[in-house]
Structure 1
Amino acid sequence: MRTKSSAASLRAERPPKASRTSCAPPSGRISCTVSSGCRQPGWSSRRRCARVRPTMTALKKAAPEPRRALLAWDREHHLQALGERVFDLLVVGGGATGCSVARDAVLRGLDVCLVDRGDLASGTSSRSTRFIHGGLRYLKTFEFGFVREGLQERATLMTVAPHLVRPVEFLFPARPGAGTSRWKLRFGIGLYDLLAGRNRLPGTRSLSTTATLTLEPGLRAEGLGGSVVYRDGAVDDARFVVETAVSAVEAGAVIAVHVEAERLVPSESGPAVVMLKDRLSGASLGARAAVVINACGAWAGTLLQDTVTPSKTGAASSRLRPSRGSHLAFPREILPISRVVVMPSRSDGRLLFAVPAGDFTYLGTTEVDHTGPLNVVRAESGEVNYILRVAGEVFDSPLLAREQVLCTWAGIRPLVERPHQPTGQLSRDFRIFQGAPGVVTVLGGKFTSCRRMAEVTLDVAAGILSRRFGRRADACITGWKLFPGAEGPVPDGDPAIPASLDTAVARHLSGTYGSRAAGIFRRIAQTPSLGTPLVAGCPVTPAEIIHAVEREGVVRLADLLFRRLHPLMMEARMASPQGKAVAEEASRIMGSWLGWTEERCAREVSDSLEEWRRDFSVP
């Protein structure tokens, strides 16, 4: 149900009809200046041209008219740029690894484009447990080097993206009868901190049973032998990927979402050709690049199956064992924890987690072989039962029942195959290989390693560019180059925050966008109604939606709800009338900027609900 405030927000401003002559890219490589100082995506060069920032006028009608605003990240311009020149690098895959490769490459001075058949982070990279960590469980298999590297990457990401990667507190309950005594936990977590070296996070301590139950009274007291508290890293995975892509675009990369790489044609003597298809319009496209990076994760084998080197067809897929990890979410009042709680499974020893997330608490994750098609990935009923059973072993709550589950999600881990080894014991390390001339494939890895994976992959690609084309790349700078917004959140009470803005909205925007929230605050200061939440109880505002359309490349309602607004757990909210009301209002606001008709707005809502039922509903 729409509120009066949401209707007022929709009437508050409308983008003017864009002058196509003012922003259409001329031939050659040029850049345009926008209000934030970023360059027109897809072009990098010496000249700059004036660019008019859209201003807002009052809406006379409730229904949006089909007209299109001038955008800082314009998909049409990126599509046009794909065929205009030969790129140094073409990246296939818009997940954490692919976007990190694109960002690393453009910051090294390379001309790079990226395509993905879906949205940014629409595969595994928006469906993780949302941690940046070394991996406590890998100490059991003596993978100390892997853990140390993960902890180093945790420190790096906390430095370059502190608004995205934050330290959070974990509580690991000790249950001596189940083999997890407090001294064993203290030893293991002490070793974990030791491997972090000077990058260790402070706060590790042992707690008695009484102190543990004081911190988390919902824990099952029977068999509890105290706990160990430590700190590790947390991230909103989809938000991280989006910000990585934004950083790449602002540095000059071309990124086109909903563009599928249908066929790759490598060349022994020149650039590779990639046959593309725009999945929104159906148009056939093409791109050429000196080097192609296959960063498709679990889908890596599909890109190579039609290459001109049939002897190597399926090389990627034969090296992968897809593993599915599933999660489920409850309302926060069902499981009101104040920190992450580790949930060891008594049946198989796997570590699951209960994670507080705003108005919700989510649990996960499983690890099972995924034997079905890769385009159908969702939690199965047996996995939901398994998670609930483990949660029942740790928490004393009769409300932890299937009927209370709001949503589920599942992602595919692209584990590197090791014959005769159980899936749960496979390493999360990554591998890079060249299966065809000028084609580099990166396999395996985990979210924490995405920056490091990109660095190593680019080193390999840079060698190919140098040997085959005489093109030199600069050194990697992603180890210290700050992300957009990393200057820090806008603090409470800052003059940049409009005085009339709801505190929950201000904190959400500042916590999500860091220093970039100042731009959203300025827009709200100019038109206060844009800071009014669309519906009560959810801090989504028209200003945030406009920001996503204008600067984050969103072109579908589902992309907005399930990736750009990911920190608000929209997949859980969509189970209620609140989420559906947000979807309807958001569709109208997006339509006013993207030139959608009323019929298109309604179809976007319907498509989003269908995507939710397919990917996030409870089996």
Structure 2
Amino acid sequence: MWERLGSAPVDLLVIGGGINGAGIARDATRRGLSVAVVDMNDLAFGTSSRSSKLIHGGLRYLEQYEVGLVFESVSERRILMDLAPHLVSPLGFLFPVYKDSRRNLFVIQAGMWLYDGLSLFRSPKRHRMLSPRDLETEEPALRREDLKGAPLYYDCSTDDARLTLETAIDAARNGAIITTWAKVTQLLVENGRVCGATVRDELTGATKDVRASAVINATGPWTDRTLALPRKGSDAPAPPRMLRTTKGVHIVVDRAKLPLNNAVVCFHPVDKRVLFAIPWGDRSYVGTTDTDDPGDPSRVHATREDVDYLIAASNAYFPEHTLTHADVIATWAGLRPLIDEGAGANESQVSREHKIVIGQEGLITIAGGKLTTYRRMSIEVVDTAVRYLQLSNGLAGRDIEPSRTEKAPLPGAEGWPDDDDATQVVAQVEQASNGTISNAIAAALTDQYGTRAIAIAALCAARPALASPLVPGRPEILAQIEHAVREEMAATVCDVLVRRTQLFFRDVDQGLGCAERVASHMGTLLGWDDATRQRELQRYRDEVELSRHWRKG
């Protein structure tokens, strides 16, 4: 990808490899535009791998009268369930109502009917009201004192990093140049218009200029920093900042410590902010916080105060399963790139709507928005870019087709059963492995990769040593490292352990026990010398240390 980057001008240069950047590239390439995407780190390094991992309409936004946002979100939820059934899965949500709750059951029930109605009654399942007695069976860990009942409604969970990754892979299959660990150091300006960027390879130090008819800033919480980049060929002042960044923190615990059957909507006992307790395979996680944080998005991390805040909320709702600091396996933290609406609104009241701006020099910026609506936002950005190119004669008379992403499945959903029966794919994966992996590992691979898991199983059949677990007792295997490097653009140990396998979050040791083995295997594939291998190992250890920084108080 680096060798191809800059070898010829492209129609669109997209700065940022998060969900918006990947979505823009996928939409644009499927319309016939040439696209290059650059990111200073890995795909989904920022907010796109640090969300609450939900594809949802945002029930709480009804209370803020953002009906349009909710309608758009539930519509996109339905589409994403079809495009990526292996990554977007129905999840039950309980909304417990107590005697002291700020909304009574009647109001909540009315909100549920409105929520279902906005989805045109195409939710994964219709909501239903549960009595306190029903809840003793449905969610036995939930506090029962003063409980009046709870509606059970349905949204979806996702693997946010993999959703981004598969979107980028599809873009690459359609011709996009996707270059990670490639940092934009300056924008190129000619005749008063941004026409490209200087890019530095963060792993080798090499630099090159990339020319484009239009440049798109899709850098999420780095938006203002990108807007402020130096301009080669212009001394115009940087445009004003756009963002109000707020920090969201999650904690991960063993599911035995916090046994959940459904996601539970919680109101914090102190400030009444909404957060969730969510089941996650053999783990559970609680989040998120919502506090202003103007700091460096690359170094955002949980504090002791953040962790205590989340533990307090969990213990208020699940008093028989109280959590302590010792129960926290991992944390993650990210910054929401919200549009700055000026003083007055608290963090949770700031709109999640997005905004597309064309600057005076022609730089197109997308900011704000939600993970759930990324595909719709991508369409709007590409539509905006096409109009800009038509006005500037950047298309040379070419006709650009409308968006084609609504019906095209992501790579892992190609060949997925029409009846959504994942067990059929699991059987194919197990068969392709020729007996080298268990049914449990085949199921775990299918959950992560969809039909692409068959190729990983075939690696194991050809080289049985690749079926070896990375961590004893866990389903992640060495073949995933091979696949990540060869097929998923993984370039560092962090790429693999944080976003390709998620051992960083799920393993009790956060992957430290297998990091050397991973680095050794990657080094063989990528030709690392010992100094590079040690550098990448230390980079990963530093990432783990940052996630544990809160323990220092």
Question: Quick check: 1:171–1:230 contact (8 Å CA) kept in 2?
Answer: yes
In the aligned structure 2, how far is the partner of 1:398 from the partner of 1:199?
35
Match 1:408 to one of 317, 320, 331: 331
The alpha-carbon deviation at position 616 of structure 1 amounts to 5.0
For residue 367 of structure 2, what is the aligned residue in structure 1? Answer: 443
1:376 to 262, 287, 299: 299
Moved more, 191-200 or 453-462: 191-200
The SS at the match of 1:155 is: helix
What is the CA–CA distance in structure 2 between the aligned matches of 1:258 and 1:605, rounded to whole Å? 16
Counterpart position of 2:349: 425
SS at match of 2:435: coil
Give the alignment partner of residue 609 of structure 1, picking from 538, 541, 551: 541
Aligned twin of 1:570: 504
Shift of 1:464: 1.4
In the alignment, does 2:138 pair up with 1:204?
no
The reply to whether residue 123 of structure 1 matches residue 55 of structure 2 is: no
1:267 to 190, 201, 206: 190
Equivalent residues in 2 for 1:51-62, closer than 5 Å: none
What is the count of residue pairs matched by the alignment?
536
Identify the range of structure 1 (431-440 vs 136-145) with the bigger mean alpha-carbon deviation: 431-440
Q: Is the 8 A contact 1:312 1:436 kept in 2?
A: no
Q: Which amino acid aligns with 2:238?
A: T
Kept in 1: contact 2:183–2:199 (CA 8 A): yes
SS at match of 1:341: strand
CA contact (8 A) 1:86 1:271 kept: no
Would you say 1:347 and 2:270 are equivalent positions? yes
| CA distances 1:119-160 after superposition (whole Å, capped 9, x unpaired) | 111111110000011101101111111100011111111111
| One of 512, 515, 523 as aligned partner of 1:583 | 515
> Is contact 2:315–2:322 with CA below 8 Å preserved after alignment?
no
The answer as to 2:434 corresponding to 1:434 is no
Report the AA paired with residue 361 of structure 2.
P
2-side partners of 1:388 and 1:425: how far apart?
Answer: 23
SS in 2 for 1:202: coil
Residues 417 and 462 of structure 1: is their aligned pair in 2 closer, same or farther, counting only changes over 3 Å?
same
In 2, are the aligned partners of 1:328 and 1:408 still within 8 Å (CA)? Answer: yes
Determine if contact 1:406/1:618 at 8 Å carries over to the other structure: no
| Alpha-carbon distance between aligned partners in 2 of 1:229 and 1:198, rounded to the nearest angstrom | 15
| Residues 425 and 450, structure 2, Cα contact 8 Å, conserved in 1 | no
The offset of 1:564, in angstroms, is: 1.0
What is the CA–CA distance in structure 1 between the aligned matches of 2:279 and 2:550, rounded to whole Å?
A: 19
Is the 8 Å Cα contact of residues 119 and 559 (structure 1) preserved in structure 2?
Answer: yes
Amino acid paired to 2:516: E
Give how far 1:311 is off.
Answer: 5.2
Partner of 1:477: 404
Distance 1:310 1:298 in 2: 25
Contact preservation (8 Å) 1:520, 1:547? yes
Contact 1:264 1:304 in 2 (8 A): no
Take 1:449 and 1:312, find their aligned partners in 2: how far apart are those partners?
A: 32
CA separation in 2, counterparts of 1:464 and 1:142? Answer: 33
- Structure 1 residue aligned with 2:92: 169
**What's the offset of the Cα at 1:271?**
6.7
**Residue equivalent to 1:48:** none
Provide, for residues 570-615 of structure 1, a one-character-per-residue CA deviation record: whole Å limited to 9, x for no partner: 2342x52x72222122112111211123443333222211111124
In the aligned structure 1, how far is the partner of 2:145 from the partner of 2:11?
61
Match of 1:229 in 2: 152
The correspondence of residues 462-541 of structure 1 with structure 2, limited to 5 A, is: 462-471=386-395, 472=398, 473-486=400-413, 487-488=415-416, 489=422, 490-494=424-428, 495-541=431-477
* 1:243-297 CA distance string (max 9 Å, x none): 1111111111101111111111233477713111111111222101000000011
Deviation at 1:312, TM superposition (A): 5.2
SS of equivalent to 1:82: coil
The Cα of 1:476 is off from its aligned counterpart by 0.7
User: CA shift at 1:376, angstroms?
Assistant: 2.2
**What is the CA distance between 1:540 and its match in structure 2?**
1.5
- Separation of aligned partners in 2, 1:312 and 1:598: 45
Alignment of 1:96-115 (within 5 A): 96-115=19-38
Distance 2:340 2:47 in 1: 18
The residue identity in structure 2 corresponding to 1:150 is: S
Whether the 8 Å contact between 2:196 and 2:215 is mirrored in structure 1 is no
Q: Deviations over 1:22-57 (max 9, x none)?
A: xxxxxxxxxxxxxxxxxxxxxxxxxxxxxxxxxxxx
CA-to-aligned-CA distance 1:164-209 (integer Å, 9 cap, x gap)? 1111111111112223433332221221111111432324111111
Aligned counterpart, 1:597: 529
Aligned residue for 1:225, secondary structure, equals: strand
With 376-385 and 594-603 compared, the bigger mean Cα shift is at 594-603
Q: 1:403 to 1:180 in 2, by over 3 A?
A: farther
Q: Show the counterpart of 2:483.
A: 547
Query: Aligned residues: percent identity?
Result: 37
Distance 2:298 2:61 in 1: 29
- Matched to 1:159, the amino acid is D
What's 1:332 paired with?
255
Contact 1:434 1:441 in 2 (8 A): yes
CA-atom RMSD in angstroms: 1.8
Q: 1:144 to 1:310 in 2, by over 3 A?
A: farther
Does 2:227 align with 1:304? yes
What secondary structure does 1:443 align onto?
strand
1:470 is displaced (CA, Å) by 4.7
Q: Is the 8 A contact 2:192 2:234 kept in 1?
A: no
Q: Distance in 1 between matches of 2:401 and 2:187?
A: 27
Query: Counterpart of 1:87?
Result: 10
2:238 is the counterpart of 1:313: yes
